[in-house]
Amino acid sequence: MTDNDAVLVGGPGDGTTFEAEGAGLVELEYEEMVHRYIPTTQAREGMAVYTYDGVVDPGGASDGAEDAQDRMASPLARDMEDRG
């Protein structure tokens, strides 16, 4: 049994409860994209609130939008890329 202590707000994981263990960043893989949530100072029903921070393409940056060589990929995106 898990002890869910946090809830996701916004994005595809909206309303999902989970065991955060004080994580500074939560990443979820959904439809081949990595969605990021960050902790807030808010609480809902005694649970920490993690708010949606956006989506990351695990393949990296798009040409012209961002310099892919300078981009720090998220750990989950890097793992997804390694799986091919």
The DSSP annotation for 60-72 comes to -PPTTTS-TTT--
How confident is residue 27, by pLDDT bands cut at 50, 70 and 90? very high
Mean pLDDT of 8-18: 96
Looking at the predicted structure, is the pLDDT value of residue 52 above 60?
yes
Question: Which pLDDT score, from 0 to 100, does residue 59 have?
Answer: 76
The ranges assigned to domains in the chain are 6-83
pTM (2 d.p.): 0.69
The span from the first CA to the last CA of the chain, in angstroms, equals 32
- CB within 8 Å of 48: residues ≥ 6 apart: 5, 6, 7, 20, 39, 40, 42
Question: Which pLDDT score, from 0 to 100, does residue 81 have?
Answer: 62
**34 pairs with which residues across the strands?**
29, 56
Question: Which pLDDT score, from 0 to 100, does residue 84 have?
Answer: 57
